[in-house]
Amino acid sequence: MRWASAGRHDEGDGQVLHDVEAVVLVGGQGTRLRPLTLSAPKPMLPTAGVPFLAHLLSRIRAAGVRRVVLGTSYLAETFEKHFGDGAALGLDLTYVVEDEPLGTGGGIRNVAGHLTADDVLVFNGDVLCGTDLRAVVATHRDTQADVTLHLVRVPDPRAYGCVPTDPDGRVLEFLEKTPDPPTDQINAGCYVFRRAVIDAIPAGRAVSVERETFPGLLAAGSRISGHVDDAYWRDMGTPADLVQGSADLVRGIAPSDALPGPTGDALRLAGAEVAADAHVAGGTVVGVDAQVGTGARVVGSMLFDGAVVGAGATIENSVVGAGARVGAGASVVDTVVGDRAVVGEACELRGGMRIWPDVVLPAGGVRFSPDV
pLDDT confidence band for 125 (50 / 70 / 90): confident
Specify if 12 maps to a domain. no
214, 280: one domain:
no
Is a pLDDT exceeding 60 seen at residue 372? Answer: no
Domain tally for the chain?
2
Residue 6: band (very low, low, confident or very high) from pLDDT cuts 50, 70, 90: very low
pLDDT of residue 330: 96
Q: Final residue of a domain: which of 250, 279, 294? A: 250
In a domain, 4, yes or no: no
Domain boundary among 199, 218, 250: 250
Q: Looking at 8-22, 23-37, 307-321, which range is the least confident one?
A: 8-22
**Domain-embedded: residue 91:** yes
**Within a domain: 9:** no
pLDDT score of 13: 40
The pLDDT, as a whole number, for residue 1 is 53
List pLDDT tens digits, range 127-169. 899 999 999 999 999 999 999 999 999 888 888 878 999 999 9
Please check whether residue 207 lies inside any domain of the structure: yes
Mean pLDDT across the chain = 89
167 located within any domain: yes
Closest by alpha carbon to 104, among 20, 226, 205, 194? Answer: 205
**Domain containing 330 — which CATH number?**
2.160.10.10
**pLDDT classification of 9: cutoffs 50, 70, 90:** very low
On whether both 67 and 144 belong to a single domain, the answer is yes
What local confidence, expressed as pLDDT, does residue 272 receive?
96
Over residues 287-319, the pLDDT tens digits come to: 999 999 999 999 999 999 999 999 999 999 999
Q: Are 180 and 304 part of one and the same domain?
A: no
Examine the fold and report which residue of 224, 250, 276 is the final residue of a domain before the chain moves on.
Answer: 250
**Burial letters for 11-31: b for 16+ Cβ neighbours within 10 Å, e otherwise?**
beeeebbeebbbbbbbbbebe
Strands of the sheet containing 273-274, edge to edge, are 273-274, 291-292, 308-309, 325-326, 342-343, 360-361
Domain contains 341: yes
pLDDT at 4 exceeding the cut of 50: no
CB atoms within 10 A of CB 167: 5
pLDDT at 327: 96
pLDDT tens digit string along 58-108? 999 999 999 999 998 878 788 889 999 999 999 999 999 888 888 889 899
State which residues form the domain around 335. Answer: 266-368
159 within some domain? yes
